[in-house]
């Protein structure tokens, strides 16, 4: 379809800017088709496995809706209900599932797991989030930015918070590939690792991307089109890191002052779930222990007109449909 049939989708580093653009373009078309009620069922009769070693709301639903819209059956394997990792290695799981399914989604821990799965499965594997990368999220984010600003070109994209993890890494790679202006704003120890930064800087020489690493939130957000953040403690991290994260990252919370500093056209984005109030179990526990009623973003910004977080969440399904169709359809 886009020339990706049989290929896996493991990280944006594996794709050229043109390929990423075409996946976003197909996502936009599939979104329009869906809105118009035009069925496409591009993968009729195929079957996919959805492996989730970590929990999910959006990514799981995106894959299930995509599978249904594409005319496929999806089998969900939850974080505790399979043999994976406990009684069976990834290589064995891959070889078994690869003979039953036409494609496999994986959400879990190290990137090497999803890479291994792809190596042994013999069918396309899609990364639904690892510790290092969350590539389908970035396609949805860029679709959302394009809908808002009409383009990715010239967009100043500021990521606030723990920039060493899946979201910071993937956004840096994505912005680099698309020739954007990316700023990681955090204390230095939360900047993406030096090896990945060096790789991105090399790519930036070709794409014209600007990469900045800035610890001053006012400098970083000045003139930003997008301020993006994520949770301070990611899935799979131990509870023992909370205290230090709160101390280190509180100055990097997205506030009304920072949004105003960016300018009136700036939008707020977040991959979600977000800790912006006390309506969650963890949010409440953190409040009881540390006395803060929000974490990475204030409720005021989260609920403001500048916040396009739910447009972004709704957009998760179309890039997933696009990636699955592009890699499975003939």
- Residues catalogued as catalytic: 107, 134, 137, 230, 271, 316
Q: Would you count residue 132 as binding ligand NVA (CB under 6 A)?
A: no
The stretch among 22-30, 53-61, 85-93, 119-127 that binds ligand CP (CB under 6 A) is 53-61
Q: Would you count residue 315 as binding ligand CP (CB under 6 A)?
A: no
Q: Which two tokens stand for residue 160?
A: 């606030």
Beta carbons of 221 and 262 less than 8 angstroms apart = yes
List 127, 130, 137, 170, residue binding ligand CP (CB under 6 A): 137
Rounded CA-CA distance 160/105 in Å is 28
- Quote the least distance from Cβ 57 to ligand CP, whole Å: 3
The stretch among 55-63, 91-99, 117-125, 156-164 that binds ligand CP (CB under 6 A) is 55-63
Beta carbons of 50 and 128 less than 8 angstroms apart = yes
Return the number of other C-beta atoms located less than 10 Å from residue 307's C-beta: 21
Q: Would you count residue 230 as binding ligand NVA (CB under 6 A)?
A: yes
- Quote the least distance from Cβ 157 to ligand NVA, whole Å: 17
Q: Would you count residue 298 as binding ligand NVA (CB under 6 A)?
A: no
Beta carbons of 324 and 316 less than 8 angstroms apart = no
Q: Would you count residue 166 as binding ligand NVA (CB under 6 A)?
A: yes
Residue 12 binding target from ligand CP, ligand NVA, none, CB below 5 to 8 Å by type: none
Q: Would you count residue 56 as binding ligand CP (CB under 6 A)?
A: yes
273 upstream amide cis, omega within 30 of 0? yes
Q: Would you count residue 318 as binding ligand CP (CB under 6 A)?
A: no
Q: Would you count residue 272 as binding ligand CP (CB under 6 A)?
A: yes
**Residue 51: which H helix or E strand, with range?**
strand 47-52
Q: What ranges in the chain are assigned the alpha helix state H?
A: 17-36, 58-69, 90-100, 111-121, 135-149, 166-177, 194-207, 217-221, 242-249, 256-262, 281-290, 299-302, 309-314, 317-328
Considering only residues 28 through 67, tell me which ones interact with ligand NVA, judged by CB under 6 A.
none
Residue 166 binding target from ligand CP, ligand NVA, none, CB below 5 to 8 Å by type: ligand NVA
- Quote the least distance from Cβ 137 to ligand CP, whole Å: 5
Q: Is 188 exposed, middle or buried (0-12, 13-18, 19+ CB in 10 A)?
A: exposed
Residue 307 binding target from ligand NVA, ligand CP, none, CB below 5 to 8 Å by type: none
The β-bridge relationship of strands 267-270 and 103-107 is unpaired
Among 143, 125, 113, smallest CA distance to 29 is for 143
- From residue 285, alpha-carbon distances to 3, 181, 255, 278, 303 in Å are 49, 37, 22, 9, 22
Which residue lies nearer to ligand CP by CB, 63 or 242? 63
Among 144, 116, 104, 96, smallest CA distance to 327 is for 104
List 16, 57, 89, 280, residue binding ligand CP (CB under 6 A): 57
List 20, 70, 173, 271, residue binding ligand NVA (CB under 6 A): 271
Q: Would you count residue 235 as binding ligand NVA (CB under 6 A)?
A: yes
The residues binding ligand NVA (CB under 6 A) are: 129, 165-167, 230-231, 234-235, 271
Which stretches of the chain bind ligand CP, using CB under 6 A? 56-59, 129, 137, 271-272
């Amino acid at each position: 379809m886009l020339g990706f049939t049989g290929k896996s989708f493991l990280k944006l580093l594996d794709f050229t800017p043109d390929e990423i653009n075409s996946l976003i373009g197909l996502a936009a078309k599939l979104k329009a088709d869906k809105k118009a009620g035009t069925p496409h069922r591009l993968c009729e009769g195929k079957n996919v496995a959805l492996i989730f070693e970590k929990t999910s709301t959006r990514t799981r639903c995106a894959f299930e809706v995509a599978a249904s819209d594409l005319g496929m059956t999806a089998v969900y394997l939850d974080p505790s209900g399979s043999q994976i990792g406990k009684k069976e290695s990834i290589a064995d799981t891959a070889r078994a599932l690869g003979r039953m399914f036409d494609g496999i989604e994986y959400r879990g821990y190290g990137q090497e797991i999803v890479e291994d799965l792809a190596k042994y499965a013999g069918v396309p594997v899609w990364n639904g989030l690892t510790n290092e990368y969350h590539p389908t999220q970035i396609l949805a984010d860029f679709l959302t930015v394009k809908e808002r600003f009409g383009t990715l070109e010239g967009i100043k994209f500021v990521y606030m918070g723990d920039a060493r993890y899946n979201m910071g890494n993937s956004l840096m790679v994505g912005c680099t590939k698309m020739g954007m202006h990316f700023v990681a704003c955090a204390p230095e120890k939360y900047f993406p690792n030096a090896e990945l930064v060096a790789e991105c800087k090399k790519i930036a020489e070709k794409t014209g991307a600007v990469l900045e690493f800035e610890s001053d939130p006012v400098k970083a957000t000045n003139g930003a089109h997008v301020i993006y953040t994520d949770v301070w403690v990611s899935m799979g991290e131990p509870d023992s890191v909370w205290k230090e994260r709160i101390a280190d990252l509180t100055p990097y919370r997205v506030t009304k002052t920072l949004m105003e500093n960016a300018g009136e056209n700036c939008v707020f984005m977040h991959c979600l779930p977000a800790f912006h109030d006390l309506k969650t179990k963890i949010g409440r526990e953190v409040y009881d222990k540390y006395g803060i009623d929000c974490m990475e973003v204030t409720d005021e910004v989260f609920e403001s007109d500048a916040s396009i977080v739910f447009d972004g969440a709704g957009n998760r399904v179309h890039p997933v449909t696009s990636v699955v169709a592009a890699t499975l359809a003939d």
